[in-house]
Amino acid sequence: TGSGPPVPRPGQLVARTAGPNPPVLSCRALRKVFGGHVVLDDLDLDVAEHEVVALIGASGSGKSTLLRCVNLLEDLDDGTIHLDGEHITDPRVSPDLVRRRIGIVFQAYNLFPHLSVLDNITLAPRRVYRRDRAEAEFQARELLARVGLAEKAGDYPDRLSGGQQQRVAIVRALVNAPRLILLDEVTSALDPELVGEVLTMIRDLKADGMTMVLATHEMGFAREVADRICFLDGGRVIEEGPPEQVLGEPTQPRTRQFLRRII
């Protein structure tokens, strides 16, 4: 814009861009219909850089569909999604290039059983994004080491616990250095004693400043890790705010009803 590079203010270590950045994720008026059933209904959601947003709501409220739409795994019936200010639901945009910038992890069955841990992580970078094999493997090993799974690189998924498999799936979502990570009930399919190691990894990602949207039934974890909680009902965000407000003093009868049922 001709204003030159941003100048650090006194006491500021890193030069910030002048003015507020656009949200990392901006969803406007999303609408998704499955067989006449409205699943996302005029849904708006903004996520700022480094922000962690937890999506809560009853089964069928649209959490997974929202995450799948953001990752362009589903076509919208209406609405727009921007990533870092770029309109990614423009049909001219390549979904593969968008998915490189957004990592996603599902509830279960994430890994390919016939591929080693290392190949699971590097398959997409090599095949889809044409990245150099040695470079992709080097980065994958580095990430595995960071999460204590270095010695599992050559193993097949069935040799790993469910918790280790989910941690590998998260590593795979991180390997393209995404701007945003989407986590869809990533601990729901795990035995209770394996949940902790996955939650620890998500905590570490937050500490690193990763921007995340996570759908979860773990209210304790949502309260701890989320900067903001969005309660979905019928495909809309009907209440949102800081965890202590949404979970502690919900204003909407539907939110109160939901929390009474699950806590």
Hey, what are 229's tokens? Answer: 């909680």
Pick 102 or 149: Cβ nearer Mg ion: 102
Size of the site for ligand ADP (CB under 6 A): 11
If one asks whether residue 43 binds ligand ADP (CB under 6 A), the answer comes out as: no
CB of 61 to Mg ion, least distance (A): 8
Whole-number minimum distance, CB 218 to Mg ion, in Å?
13
| Residue 39: contacted member of ligand ADP, Mg ion, none (CB under 5 to 8 Å, by partner type) | ligand ADP
Nearest to Mg ion of 182, 247 (CB atom): 182
Closest CA to 253 of 243, 263, 238, 241: 238
Minimum distance of Mg ion from residue 215's CB (angstroms): 6
Query: Least distance from C-beta 258 to Mg ion, angstroms?
Result: 15
Site residues (vs Mg ion, CB under 5 A): 63-64
**From residue 252, how far is each of 66, 97, 232, 240 by CA, in Å?**
21, 39, 11, 10
- The b/e string for 118-136 (b: 16+ C-beta within 10 A; e otherwise) is bbbbbebbbeeeebeeeeb
Looking at the Cβ atoms of 120 and 216, the one nearer to ligand ADP is 216
Residues forming a β-bridge with 214:
54, 183
Q: Choose one: 57-65, 115-123, 137-145, 236-244; the region binding ligand ADP (CB under 6 A).
A: 57-65
Minimum CB distance to ligand ADP, residue 56 (Å): 9
Residue 114 is encoded by which pair of tokens? 């016939």
d(CA 156, CA 163): 14
Query: In 10 A of CB 169, how many CB atoms?
Result: 24
Comparison of 106 and 165: residue with beta carbon closer to ligand ADP: 106
CB of 257 to ligand ADP, least distance (A): 16
Residue closer to Mg ion, measured from CB, 144 or 212: 212
The 3-class secondary structure across 36-102, one letter per residue, is: CEEEEEEEEEEECCCCEEEEECCCCCCHHHHHHHHCCCCCCCEEEEEECCEECCCCCCCHHHHHCCE
Residue from 34, 109, 112, 138 in contact with ligand ADP (CB under 6 A): 34
Regarding beta strands 52-56 and 212-215, do their DSSP bridges make them parallel or antiparallel, or are they unpaired? parallel
The item of ligand ADP, Mg ion, none sharing an interface with residue 34, based on CB under 5 to 8 Å by kind, is: ligand ADP
Query: At 9, which amino acid appears?
Result: R
Q: Among residue numbers 59 through 118, which ones bind ligand ADP (CB under 6 A)? A: 59-65
Both tokens assigned to 105? 């992890």
State the residues that interact with ligand ADP by CB under 6 A: 34-35, 39, 57, 59-65
